[in-house]
A = this chain, B = another copy of it.
């Protein structure tokens, strides 16, 4: 019982800080997306392709979450975007408090869009709201189409499911149809895009989805001019 009480307390505390983050972002009209997946599903590779498309229209800032190191942040800094690295120091997910200072930096700088790359983990990040508008999750086809049944919370939380590495489909037993069905069993109507960072398939569709969500948040049909 002690464990459960502590966990409930931690989540309630997280939700309070997430609400602060969300209010700060809303006040500046910044759209935020939390990108999550298992380790190695291709979050950073996808962002390397999608962020330049978004950056052509919006001012994009990035928060990069890792247990240790800054390898992914260094990859994304090559895109000439502001990237804030957060090391969780062993923790298996970002939480609202960890990103709070970086959100402060973002709302006081020039930004329209905040992209947060979470720690690679299909379980724990799903429980922690960071204050984002949307969660985007990747499932790579090499992971198997049974994953929505085994990790339902993440698929329930996702606003968009990106089925990544589809260039490897022929080499695997993965059924996109079964994966999507299993995902929609736990999250009816979940939107899905198929992507390959190698062939470029679906990259523009992911960017378009994010742009649609930005427009919806602003209640506008078209994005503003950049600058």
Binding site for B on A (CB under 8 A): 3, 6, 10, 38-40, 66-69, 71, 90, 92, 119-124, 127, 140, 142-144, 146-147, 149-153, 165, 167-168, 171
Contact = CB atoms under 8 A, between A and B. Distances in A.
A10 B5 CA distance: 13
A92 B92 contact: yes
Contact of A39 (B68, B150, B152, B167): B150
Contacts of A144: 40
Given A38-B40, A68-B150, A120-B151, 9 more contacts: A6-B6, A39-B143, A39-B150, A67-B152, A92-B92, A120-B122, A121-B121, A142-B165, A168-B168
Given A6-B6, A171-B171, A153 B90 contact: yes
A66 B150 CA distance: 7
A35 B38 CA distance: 17
Closest 8 CB pairs of A and B: A40-B143, A92-B123, A142-B142, A38-B39, A39-B122, A40-B144, A92-B124, A38-B38
A149 to B, nearest CB: 6
28 contacts: A6-B6, A38-B39, A39-B122, A39-B143, A39-B147, A39-B151, A40-B143, A40-B144, A40-B147, A66-B150, A67-B151, A67-B152, A69-B149, A71-B146, A71-B149, A90-B127, A90-B153, A92-B92, A92-B121, A92-B123, A121-B121, A121-B123, A121-B124, A140-B142, A142-B142, A168-B168, A168-B171, A171-B171
Contact of A140 (B40, B71, B121): B40
Most B-side CB within 10 Å, residue of A39, A67, A68, A122: A39
Contacts of A121: 92, 121-124
A211 to B, nearest CB: 28
Nearest to A142: B142
Contacts of A38: 38-40, 120
A168 B127 CA distance: 33
Nearest to A3: B10
A155 to B, nearest CB: 12
A10 B7 CA distance: 12
